[in-house]
Amino acid sequence: MSARSKNNCPGRFLRPARRAVLPILLFIVAALGWSCKTVGRINALDKDSRAFYSQVRYIISAEEQKVFLALPPADRPAFIEDFWKRRDPDPETEKNEFKEGYLARIATANKLFRGGGKDGFIQDRGRILILLGSPDEISTNPVAKYSGARAYETWDYLGHQIRLTFVDMTGDGEYTLVQPDTRALQIINSAQTRLQNPASTGEEHYDFSAEIRQEDSVFALITIPYRNFWLNGKETGPQGHQVSIELTVMDPSGKEIWRHEKDYELASPGAGAEQSPPRDYSIRIPLQIGPGSYSAYLTLDDRLRDKRQYKTWAFTVK
């Protein structure tokens, strides 16, 4: 990171109004999708899970966040491994360039930004460094000890044609991002969105649906379109295709009360002379639970394509 020092301090940064900080706080909260319920689940995480969640706060998608926080503790290590695997730009090699690069930026932020008693990557300068990389130019603007002014610095990203300003609001060395314009916010948001989306492997998205139904009995219905079984580029089709399903049901406190694990061998849909083959493959799983409110967590592991996907949702049994 290069730096140019200046001693000038524009008047508009002498005493920034509190209201200047509010849009940034709202932006951060909205970007992370935080809520009281989410914070409660974060606080309930074990040490290793909380450390992982803190590190990936900028790149975990809303759906991944929802799934991870709903997981039973025993299933979190597999999720973490799969989280990084989905972002590996070259799965054929042992090295995960995305993971190494991302963690290196965190280490750099922690080394450079030490003020405020917080880890550097959690601070605003650390967040921008992780999302946008090192700026092309930095202008530092310190102040005299008893001047009553506030130190600030500007970061110029020449390629994006934006300038970001960070102000030391309390004099403790932690700088807050102040008043980014609409263009800057769009660029920051776009960078975060790109990091939240796993690296593309050229395959179509393997989708499926899952729901809890209550008719004469309570059961889970998992539906997988047959077309997904040809997406791997192999000529196997559904015949001999195997998926492994784990379904966990938890009570409102997050305690596991019921679990189902089974491998399913998919048969060819087949087509009669007078009818079209079915569009979907359906799996019906009876649930052994009574009335109440629950949450469900489902893992579908496609053995042939070595792909794992998750879904989580809440439901009520009457």
pLDDT one-digit tens code per residue, 84-138: 988 888 777 888 888 998 999 999 999 999 888 899 999 999 999 999 999 999 9
Q: So what's the pLDDT on residue 137? A: 94
Q: Residue 117: which region, alpha, beta or left (left: phi > 0; alpha: psi -120 to 50)?
A: left
- Asked if 244 contacts 301 with a C-beta cutoff of 8 angstroms, the reply is yes
The angle subtended at Cα 313 by Cα 310 and Cα 317, nearest 5°, is 135
The per-residue pLDDT for range 143-201, each reduced to its tens digit, is: 756 667 889 999 999 988 999 999 999 888 999 999 889 989 999 998 898 888 765 44
- Decide if 283 contacts 244 (C-beta within 8 A): no
Query: How many beta carbons lie within 10 A of that of residue 14, not counting itself?
Result: 13
> Can you give the pTM of this predicted structure?
0.61
The band of 36, judged by pLDDT with boundaries at 50, 70 and 90, is low
Task: Give me the DSSP letters along 179-224.
Answer: ---HHHHHHHHHHHHHHHSPPP-SPPP---EEEEEESSSEEEEEEE
For the chain, domains (ranges, CATH) are 4-196 (no CATH), 209-317 (2.60.40)
Q: Which residue has the tokens 């047959």?
A: 226
Calpha distance 318→315 (Å, rounded): 10
Whether the pLDDT of residue 246 is over 60: the answer is yes
SS3 content of the chain, % helix, strand, coil (to 5): 35, 30, 40
